[in-house]
Copies of this chain bind each other. A is one copy, B any other.
């Protein structure tokens, strides 16, 4: 039997069609890798033109819900939403959310470290040699004198990624991707002096040591210290800017 797609009765057609198909996917009536009817067939089923169907499909494609293939056996297929795709979606959304809503640095920072703190006990317990090696490598990079602020921040993100991934829980990693990565633009606005870098690396080393020793409490302490230090740093930068402009 051919499937039918219940549709709402108000709003733009392409939106209604997209919603109908999305519901079918979310509710499992269309399963992963299943091929949707061709655009022509969809147009007939919904009683609309092909361009309208296409607009609806593009909406779904933007959410990575479907992929399309050209050619004889082509069409639109229900996508298995990979963790990787979900990561990047989440990072985009989080970044926009932070930049558009005047979220102050302190709030974002607090959220980020609170979430990381949640990972610490698991990470201390389960971290592999790989995770430890990544953390050490990033610490080493952060010690290079010629490193730009952007690269320093990127390395910072990589370090914390390793910490989070060490928990060995992909759901946790996914949820945290946004929080950690979206902070980078905000972090980039802080100019790191050699002195402050040194201290941050110190905190990182303390965290890595604690994780290696599987000492959860110690790692949490070091993380908390890093959090408050980062916030202080941001406040100082802001204060300096105000002094300079007045």
Contacts and interface: CB of A to CB of B under 8 A. Distances in A.
Interface of A: 14, 18, 22, 25-26, 28, 32, 51, 54-56, 58-63, 65, 80-83, 86, 89-90, 92-101, 103, 107-108, 110-112, 114-115, 117-119, 121-122, 167, 169-172, 174-176, 178-179
Secondary structure type dominating chain A contacts: helix
Contacts of A14: 58
Contacts of A103: 170-171
A21 to B, nearest CB: 12
A25 to B, nearest CB: 8
A58 to B, nearest CB: 5
B89 A170 contact: no
Given A59-B61, A107-B169, A118-B117, A97 B174 contact: yes
Contacts of A22: 92
B172 A111 contact: yes
Contact of A58 (B62, B108, B169, B175): B62
Given A60-B62, A81-B101, A83-B97, A114 B172 contact: yes
A158 to B, nearest CB: 20
